[in-house]
A = this chain, B = another copy of it.
Amino acid sequence: MPGTPRGKTTETEETAAPRRRQARGERRVSQLLAAAAGVFCRTGYAAASTNAIAREAGVSPGTLYQFFPNKEAIAVELGGRLLQRAHETHGQAFLPENLQRPLPELLDAVLDPVIAFNCENPAFWALMHGSGIPGAMNQEHEELHSGLLTRVEGVLHSFCPQATPAELTHTSNMILGIFKSSLDLILAHEGAERDAYTAELKTVLLRYLEPMVTTTHSP
């Protein structure tokens, strides 16, 4: 609910107010988020200015601040919405039945939708890159990253029950790193090149992970 950051609208007396107003506001929020997505993609999160976002959205700076208390809030909301859309669109990739399949199929089942989503929503990717200073992610990126990490660890654990937590963390971090750098390449290319890099990514992960999981999941 980003539209009312100032809270306290006690809503006490005289009618509960129709939600027509919300409509315009919600449209503005979407507009602003779309503009932010564009600016984030073009300049990266760190270099994106709130004024540029407002300009791109065709509104005044003040309007932006009526809906978001600061720049990070925009990123948080945008990230949240993208994540939600990802779940809605490709969430079934992570269903238990998918996770039980042999590794090559699993990689296809998981990576294809995720890559597709990122290609359709490049802003998501811009958000994940953060400030470029390795040690200095902001909270939003931190959360996103550790969320993904946890998820990967979970899947990995089901594949390698014998692995220690430390090993799981190491491997998951590697997987995530490989995925991210490959996604850079995938997004930087188009058509056949893009497909080639997608295939390479799968090859890398397959060869990396196969020796760890053969006995368990390969029928």
Partner-B contacts on A (CB < 8 A) = 6, 8-12, 14, 24, 42-47, 51, 55-56, 58, 125-126, 129-136, 166, 170-171, 173-174, 177-178, 180-182, 184-185, 187-188, 196-197, 200-201, 203-204, 207-208, 210-211
Contacts and interface: CB of A to CB of B under 8 A. Distances in A.
A19 to B, nearest CB: 15
Given A12-B58, A58-B10, A170-B200, A44 B133 contact: yes
Given A58-B9, A177-B178, A197 B170 contact: yes
In the complex this chain forms, how many copies of it are found? 4
A25 to B, nearest CB: 12
Given A166-B196, A196-B166, A204 B178 contact: yes
Contact of A207 (B12, B47, B207): B207
Contacts of A211: 207
Contact of A131 (B47, B58, B200): B47
A181 to B, nearest CB: 3
A177 B182 contact: yes
Contact of A46 (B11, B56, B132, B210): B132
